[in-house]
Amino acid sequence: MTAVAIGRDWLTSRLPHRGTMNLLEEIVSWDRTTLHARAVSHRAPDNPLRRAGELSIACGIEYAAQAVAAHGALHAENETAGAGFLASVRSVTFHASRLDDVPGVLEIAVEQLASGSSGVLYDFCVSSAGRNLLVGRVAIALDASRFSHPA
């Protein structure tokens, strides 16, 4: 597992999420199938996912999806990366109701279960201070047109 921290500059230059919508703070470690990231933006008053001043636990899915995007970007470092779209979210279990009241750093762990030319499947866990906040699975559909080459 690669244990060199990758910070905000890399994340903001490689992920499609702009401004405050780029939610991750750093990548702590990653390898062929896993990635561990951290975030502190859940406490930011200007977090764009807040509604009525609160950040719902369901927003943790976006944190996980951005960690998946970072994992894909790391693997595509020397290739042309295709666009990915969140296709489905399954088997999600919430262990909290909000993220904005979590005092510690969010730990986001993703593990790739399957991949193919049309998409990837990941398990995810968002936790803080050893407590799971939400767990589940996301499927990402890849934009096949970005991979096709003119004849």
CATH number reported for the structural domain that contains residue 113 in this entry? 3.10.129.10
112 found inside a domain: yes
Residue 33 sits in which domain range? 8-146
Residue 151, domain member (yes or no): no
Asked whether residue 113 is domain-assigned, the answer is yes
Residue 149: per-residue pLDDT = 41
In a domain, 18, yes or no: yes
Its pTM stands at 0.89
pLDDT band per the 50, 70, 90 thresholds, residue 125: very high
What is the rounded average pLDDT of the residues 102-117? 95
Residue at 2 is within a domain: no
Residue 146 has pLDDT above 60, yes or no: no
Q: What region does 86 belong to: left with phi over 0, alpha with psi -120 to 50, or beta?
A: beta
Q: What is the 3-state secondary structure (H, E, C) of 137-151?
A: EEEEEECHHHCCCCC
Number of domains within the chain: 1
Q: For residues 97 and 134, what is the distance between their CA atoms, to the nearest angstrom?
A: 10
**1 located within any domain:** no
Residue 3 lies in a domain: no
Interval 45-91: pLDDT, tens: 999 999 999 999 999 999 999 999 999 988 886 454 567 888 999 99
